[in-house]
Amino acid sequence: MLGYSEAELSNDIDVWLSYFHPEDRQAVLEMTDAYVNGERADWAIEHRVFHKDGSIRWLMARGTAIQDQEETFLRLIGTTTDITELKLTEQALRRSNAMLKVQQDAAIDGILITDENQKIVSYNQRFYHIWRIPENIISNTYDDYQLRQTVLDQLKEPENFLKKIDYLNQHPEMISQDEILCKDGRIFDRYSAAIKSFEGDNFGRIWYFRDITEIKQAEAALRQNEQKFLQLTENIRDVFFIMAPDCSQVFYISPAYEVIWGRSCVSLYESPKSWIEAIHPDDQLNLLPALKALLKPEEQSLEYRIVQLTGEIRWVLTRTFPIFDDMGRVHRIAGIVRDITELKQIEAELKQYQDQLEALVIERTKELNAINQQLQQELRQREQTEATLRESERRWRTLMDDVRLLVVGLDTQMTITYANPFLTEVTGYSQAELVGKNWLDVFSPSQSGQAPHQSDFLVKSFRVHHQEALLTKVGEIREIAWNCTLLRSANGDIIGFLSIGEDITERALIERMKDEFISVVSHEFRTPLTAIHGAVDLISDGLVDLQSDRARQLLEIASEGTERLVYLVDNILDLERLESGKVELVKRSCDIGELMLRAVDLMQFSAEHSNVELLTFPISLNLQIDGDLILQVLTNLLSNAIKFSSPGSTVWLNAELRGAESLKSEQGSSLSSYLSACPSHTVYVLLSIKDQGRGIPFDKIETIFERFQQVDVSDSRQKGGTGLGLAICRNIVQQHGGHIWVESMLGAGSCFYVLLPASE
């Protein structure tokens, strides 16, 4: 085994160990010690040794101990077998298996191998990737049931899948290839073949799975494109063709060829040269250089005539496009042919007309020269007249453009023909939005159906003075006093109207406010004065005993009336002082939370009397404010909320600290304008007074903060008040550098907001 003679071998243990491979010596010694010490029941080991010729040999050593009567170890006796060939065979087999495993894992197909009993032997990485096998099943090596169930759950037709497997296992000699469909739309190509030995023994079956979803989609798209191409080429009137560069073969010709050439497509497929033969003899010689140019890598355009079998001549325009192969050579010629016979006929007719026109032009030129001289003289006279008219019109337009009155021109159908700048300024419309539009459609939509009546009225009246409401672009109503004049032509026919108007909106508003103020104030004064007068008369006439309860009631009525008169006068005086700047704020550090609680305490009796619940959520924060004036704002707003709340409802007084950025999300153009003028780093206290009352109409949201303005004029009689409270509140808040506004919805209550700067 080692190549040494018996004489060359030594009994020295160190010499024997030198024959052992260095990597195996320690293992042999450790096993021997363990065996001698009784730690192992047997002595057997595979190890390497050096042959005399320098080669390495594998040995299998087995031994047993020889002991004396006291079981003392004396020596080891055993056998050694040369297993070098077996080890080399095992090594080659491992290498072969490793290479086979690498090949399987590198394959683009998912590979599954089963034995003759359908037991899974192995599968590659691609297999569990395309079948999306979970990691827990992969780690549980070859769990046939779970793996098979994972595959079946993904299939559209799992029963057919299993039937095919059973059939192939019953017919192991068969090779199978088919396609299987997954529930998620994927398509796999499945190939299977038997695994047989050289002797023909059946060892099982190998399965290949390939994801061909994209291929199938591409095939479907190609079929769809081919169908669209055929539909296009077979339905257009132009001829589409594909042929060899030398015209020796036609690969495709569209049906329109039979209409234009008067020949069948079949005849062209059979005899491609008939394409050239159908060309008019006079054009064939000219086309030869052009046909050679088809081999050039660029588009070509040819015009020529063809002769149909009936002898009819047609003009055609052919455009060709080269198709290149992988080497960049012209592989096919594609082209489109259009029948331009009618176009050529039109060109010929146009040429004839052009010649006739040129002759007429020469003939007429002399006449025109004579006429031209006469026209020149007339034009000079007309230019002088037009210059005079333009100057007159310029002066008129300058006057109309600069005047601070509304000027509009209308035709007899009330269509706007002119609108001066002041009219566009007042209405918000541009010139383009007005000129050409019907006056009533734009400014009085509700009366647009009365246009003929209005027109007849203006015509009959000749000169009309009237006052009417005008609706602006933003929905504002302006009161205009109009002076309308009829416009006539030189023949005396009425051609339109010129209207000049004065905007009297503010004047009318002041008149209405004055009337409302007189109505409110007269009522406010008359009611308590009547009560005072009646009470005093009864007492002064001696009709009531001065010491009686009735006398005390009359005196209380007189006192309440007097207080109401004082309250009314105080409100008017307060507003006048605030607006005139005579009230100087006394700012000091005040806790806004304490002011909120004081306001609620002051209004608690009124709330309980009206069966309204008052809730407040104050915050403790010191502000530099005039505490008395801010308290007046809070009590006024709470009083209004209680006054217009139904019994059993709730009024809330809340406060929160807000930054400028967070307030920008709030609704209201007035708030946006206020915030845009304030530093972005300002911190605010936002006070809110919310009720569950009747709400405020949208058109009153802004005006209720004006003096003597109320949601309903009758409120002053039914609810009390003068319409001055909110105007006073707004002045106080503005003098503190704050802002006040309201959000409301009819039937859902209102919420008044007071925004006060806390710091910068």
- 238-291: per-residue pLDDT in tens? 888 888 888 889 998 888 898 889 999 899 999 988 888 888 888 887 777 766
Of 320, 339, 358, the last residue of a domain is 339
Does residue 302 fall inside a structural domain? yes
Of 217, 245, 277, the last residue of a domain is 217
Dihedral sign, CA of 370, 376, 382, 384? negative
C-alpha 617/C-alpha 638 separation (Å) is 14
Buried/exposed 228-243: b ≥16 CB within 10 Å, e otherwise: eeeeebeeeebbbbbb
Dihedral sign, CA of 579, 581, 586, 589? positive
**What are the structure tokens assigned to 664, written together?**
């920008």
Confidence tier at 534 by pLDDT (50, 70, 90)? low
156 phi/psi in degrees, rounded to 5: -75, -40
CB 333 within 8 A of CB 234: no
Confidence tier at 452 by pLDDT (50, 70, 90)? very low
Q: Is the pLDDT of residue 361 over 60?
A: yes
C-alpha 515/C-alpha 720 separation (Å) is 18
- For position 368, what pLDDT does the model report? 78
- For position 514, what pLDDT does the model report? 66
CA dist 82 → 1, 58, 79 (Å): 7, 6, 10
Same domain, 595 and 740: yes
Same domain, 637 and 753: yes
Same domain, 609 and 536: no
Q: How many domains does the chain have?
A: 6
Q: What is the mean pLDDT of residues 650-678?
A: 77
Confidence tier at 112 by pLDDT (50, 70, 90)? confident
Buried/exposed 475-490: b ≥16 CB within 10 Å, e otherwise: eeebbbbbebebeeee
- For position 523, what pLDDT does the model report? 57
Same domain, 81 and 166: no
- For position 453, what pLDDT does the model report? 44
- For position 8, what pLDDT does the model report? 77
Q: Is the pLDDT of residue 460 over 60?
A: no
Same domain, 603 and 729: yes
Q: Is the pLDDT of residue 664 over 50?
A: yes
**What are the structure tokens assigned to 102, written together?**
């690498």
Cα torsion at 635, 637, 643, 646 (round to 10°)? -120
Of 443, 472, 503, the last residue of a domain is 503
Does residue 2 fall inside a structural domain? no
- For position 620, what pLDDT does the model report? 92
C-alpha 694/C-alpha 703 separation (Å) is 17
Q: Is the pLDDT of residue 613 over 90?
A: yes
721-759 confidence digits (pLDDT tens): 566 788 888 888 988 889 999 998 888 899 999 999 986
C-alpha 252/C-alpha 240 separation (Å) is 8
- For position 748, what pLDDT does the model report? 85
434: containing domain: 403-503
Q: What is the mean pLDDT of residues 584-609?
A: 90
Under DSSP, the state recorded for 583 is P
Under DSSP, the state recorded for 326 is T
Confidence tier at 451 by pLDDT (50, 70, 90)? very low
685-695 confidence digits (pLDDT tens): 999 999 998 88
Same domain, 711 and 752: yes
- For position 513, what pLDDT does the model report? 65
Q: What is the mean pLDDT of residues 220-224?
A: 82
**What are the structure tokens assigned to 190, written together?**
């499945």
Output the pTM of the full model.
0.35
Q: Can you give the CATH number for the domain in which 558 is found? A: 1.10.287.130
Under DSSP, the state recorded for 649 is -
Does residue 726 fall inside a structural domain? yes
- For position 716, what pLDDT does the model report? 44
Q: Which of 614, 608, 639 is nearest to 729 (CA)?
A: 639
Q: What is the mean pLDDT of residues 302-321?
A: 90
Same domain, 613 and 705: yes
- For position 623, what pLDDT does the model report? 92
Q: What percent of the chain has pLDDT over 90?
A: 16
Place of tokens 């019953």: 170
- For position 41, what pLDDT does the model report? 67
CB 143 within 8 A of CB 123: no
Q: What percent of the chain has pLDDT over 70?
A: 81
Same domain, 591 and 731: yes
Does residue 517 fall inside a structural domain? yes
Same domain, 593 and 735: yes
Same domain, 301 and 167: no
Q: What is the mean pLDDT of residues 633-638?
A: 92
Highest mean pLDDT among 42-46, 668-672, 678-682: 42-46
Q: What is the mean pLDDT of residues 327-342?
A: 88
C-alpha 145/C-alpha 119 separation (Å) is 10
- For position 189, what pLDDT does the model report? 92
Confidence tier at 597 by pLDDT (50, 70, 90)? very high
Same domain, 564 and 674: no
Q: Bigger pLDDT: 361 or 688?
A: 688
Same domain, 240 and 211: no
- For position 102, what pLDDT does the model report? 65
Q: Give CA angle at 259 (258, 262), nearest 5°.
A: 65
Q: Is the pLDDT of residue 55 over 80?
A: yes
Q: What is the mean pLDDT of residues 201-216?
A: 88
DSSP string, 44-96: EEEEEEE-TTS-EEEEEEEEEEEE-TT--EEEEEEEEEE-HHHHHHHHHHHHH
CB 595 within 8 A of CB 627: yes
Among 222-226, 237-241, 553-557, the least confident range: 553-557
